[in-house]
Amino acid sequence: MSLQSTVRPWLAASASSSSRSLHRIKNMSQYGSTQSAKTTYKPRDALHKPVAHATVSALLASGAHFGHAATRMNPNFVPYAYGTRAGITIIDLDQTLPMLRRAANLVRAVASAGGQVVFIGTRPDLRPIVQKAAQRLGPQGFYVGDRWLPGTLTNKIPLFGPDVVKQTRVVPDLVVLLNPLANVNAIRECAIEHVPTIALVDSNADPRIVMYPIPANDESTRTAEIVGGVLSIAGREGVALWDAEQKRQEEQEKKYDNPLYG
């Protein structure tokens, strides 16, 4: 069987399903629906078109409230637990949302001061998330998607060389971790170098391992997409403020350097 004979029926079925969905959307408009083809939710929208402000309903739909088994709950996570159901810890999203907003404000403040932000997500499903997040911050954003090299911060001179360390900013100003338990070495090095950290913290982890924990399901890709999107958009806003301030200072310097000034 050829590849074309296999792919063509699938494409035809996909096109037929898409046309039926559009037809249903148009029919519902007569009943007051404002939904359109552009506003219809798509599973990958959180990655490519993230929202600037998360909601409890969006976090709930992504499964952010599901923790680990109640028997595995870390004692220090108790303040962030809503309760248990069927032996599973339920995370209190009413606490997750304000802590996510606090983290977003921090990312925006660091970026607006010209700081560098590193996004770390070393699972295969997290790699595109941290990559997109770093791209939104432009030259101030970086990401680690494969593996954190031990000693990147604490042993930087032997790794990079003294000239690189002197001429390049090796230590970031903020680190965001989407799977912190798999990157304990990075958290430890950030603590030694006094770098603030933000992380998704599940019920089996101690929230005190990072400075700014966000209690949520760290195994949900959709939750990581929402969190990464909110934080990276806040960082992009901070980068815009930094660029505007730099442009204003340059114009002011040119104005003072003008011999006709004054």
Considering only residues 28 and 86, tell me which one the structure prediction assigns the higher pLDDT. 86
Is residue 5 very low, low, confident or very high in pLDDT (cuts 50, 70, 90)? low
With beta carbons less than 8 A apart as the criterion, state whether 231 and 200 touch: no
Using DSSP's 3-state secondary structure scheme, residue 78 falls into helix
Residue at token pair 């990958």: 44
* Residue range 124-170, pLDDT digits in tens: 999 999 999 999 999 999 999 999 999 999 999 998 888 888 888 89
Q: What is the band of 252 on the pLDDT scale with cuts at 50, 70, 90?
A: confident
Is pLDDT above 50 for 118? yes
Residues 6+ apart with CB under 8 A from 155: none
Pick the closest to residue 134 from 222, 239, 213 (CA basis): 239
Q: For the beta carbon of residue 259, count every other beta carbon within 10 angstroms.
A: 5
Stated pTM of the model: 0.80
Burial class (CB in 10 A: 0-12, 13-18, 19+), 42: exposed
